[in-house]
């Protein structure tokens, strides 16, 4: 996939529309939680064999875009 964010999907009937990886039942937050727990990319790929290396990068890119929003001062 040329655009990493194309790997992130949301379906109303799957985890309440929460962002998932490529339509799998692996949420973006699951990948982020594993990273924050200190697992390496290789360990995550071993733990979740349906994932691909670009899926981990996509989860990180998705998260960075979600927190990078303008702050409007009143």
Structural domain including 28 reads 4-64
User: Which spans in the chain are helix H?
Assistant: 28-36, 41-47, 53-67
In a domain, 41, yes or no: yes
Q: What's 17's domain CATH number?
A: 1.10.10.10
Tokens 């890119």: give the residue.
61
Rg of the chain (C-alpha set): 13
Q: Which residues contact 48 (CB under 8 A, 6 or more apart)?
A: 26, 30, 31, 34
- Judge contact between 28 and 62, C-beta under 8 A: yes
In a domain, 32, yes or no: yes
In a domain, 74, yes or no: no
Number of domains in the chain: 1
Taking 50 as the threshold, does the pLDDT of residue 1 lie above it?
no
In a domain, 55, yes or no: yes
Give the pLDDT confidence score for residue 48 in this predicted structure: 97
Give the pLDDT confidence score for residue 9 in this predicted structure: 96
Mind listing the pLDDT tens digit for each residue in 16-71? 999 999 999 999 999 999 999 999 999 999 999 999 999 999 999 999 998 887 77
In a domain, 47, yes or no: yes
In a domain, 12, yes or no: yes
Give the pLDDT confidence score for residue 71 in this predicted structure: 77
Give the pLDDT confidence score for residue 3 in this predicted structure: 93
In a domain, 70, yes or no: no
């Amino acid at each position: 996939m040329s655009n990493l964010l194309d790997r992130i999907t949301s379906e109303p009937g799957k985890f309440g529309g929460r962002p998932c990886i490529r339509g799998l039942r692996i949420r973006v937050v699951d990948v982020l939680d594993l990273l924050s727990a200190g697992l390496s990319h290789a360990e995550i790929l071993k733990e979740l064999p349906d994932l691909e290396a670009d899926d981990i990068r996509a989860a990180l890119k998705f998260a960075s875009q979600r927190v990078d929003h303008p702050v409007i001062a009143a």
